[in-house]
Amino acid sequence: QVKKIRIGAFEIDSWYISPYPDEYSRHPLLYICEFCLKYMKSEYTYRRHCLKCPQRHPPGDEIYRDGSISVFEVDGRKNKIYCQNLCLIGKMFLDTKTLYYDVEPFLFYILCECDSRGYHFAGYYSKEKRSVQGYNLSCIMILPSKQREGYGKLLIEFSYLLSKKEGTPGSPEKPLSDFGLLSYRSYWRRTIYEILLGTKRTGMTADDIISTLQTDGMLQRMPGSPSYTIVVDTGRVDEYLAKAQAKNPRRIDPMKLRWAPFL
């Protein structure tokens, strides 16, 4: 069973069992190239590979760049091996993930930190190319070494930016994990509060908006009427947004997206 991976400058404990081939899963430590995501059994092989690997960024198209943060869109059909390796990494940190090898129906959005050496893998999310249910995200994973830097919320916000570009409200694939629900509740609340102050569109489905308002006690039924009204405590809203900005200042800049919907 693989207990640790070495990727880039980090050695990371695995949280769950990932179905690597038998000859690799017998090794407690796997070495993974942070650029092409190839996995290796020995440090010697890994170091030789790092010297020779020509890849310095994910395959596919760079569709977003803001300073040192970059997002690539990778087609599971065109880059099957890369995306399968990506899913094997994802399974090590996602209890509910079931996608490993059937990657062709999916698009993958790879979050990287870029510097003079290349584009360093930090996390990703996937989504179906044709989702009948209108899901804009299937699964999301940030490397433990890159967590608590706001990258999860950044990718959630990015998924809704693409939904707005498509002109269709989106929602994550259900059911959400407990941690996923907490992350989405936080994002939904912040986004809806900003809407209540008249600053932007959401890209969210009506169900997600209603459930968030109900959770916060802001959706109240009018006496003697089947209609509901939104009750806004502006002081509470302002206080929450100020705390959210201080805690998670990273935001997506829509002007820096270079992308067209998948046809």
| φ, ψ of residue 129 in degrees (nearest 5) | -65, -40
CA distances to 42, 74, 155, 179, 233 from 183, rounded to whole Å, are 37, 24, 11, 6, 23
Q: What does pLDDT average to over the chain?
A: 92
Per-residue model confidence (pLDDT) at position 119: 97
Beta strand ranges found along the chain (DSSP E):
4-7, 10-13, 29-32, 39-40, 61-66, 69-75, 106-115, 118-128, 135-137, 139-142, 171-172, 219-221, 228-230
Q: Indicate the pTM of the whole model.
A: 0.89
- Give the model confidence (pLDDT) of 52-95 as tens digits: 999 999 999 999 999 999 999 999 999 999 999 999 999 999 88
Per-residue model confidence (pLDDT) at position 74: 97
Per-residue model confidence (pLDDT) at position 85: 96
**Secondary structure class of 241 (helix, strand, coil):** helix
List, as one string, the DSSP characters of 181-238.
Answer: HHHHHHHHHHHHHHHHTT-----B-HHHHHHHHHHTT-EEEPTTSS-EEE---HHHHH
- Please determine, for residue 97, whether its predicted confidence score (pLDDT) is greater than 70: no
Q: What percent of the chain has pLDDT over 90?
A: 75
Per-residue model confidence (pLDDT) at position 223: 84
- Please determine, for residue 15, whether its predicted confidence score (pLDDT) is greater than 70: yes
> Could you say which DSSP state residue 20 is in?
-
- Give the model confidence (pLDDT) of 188-238 as tens digits: 999 999 888 776 778 899 999 999 999 999 988 888 878 888 888 889 999
Per-residue model confidence (pLDDT) at position 93: 92
- Give the model confidence (pLDDT) of 107-136 as tens digits: 999 999 999 999 999 999 999 999 999 999
Q: Which has the higher per-residue pLDDT, 178 or 149?
A: 149
Active site (catalytic) residues: 173
Per-residue model confidence (pLDDT) at position 228: 85
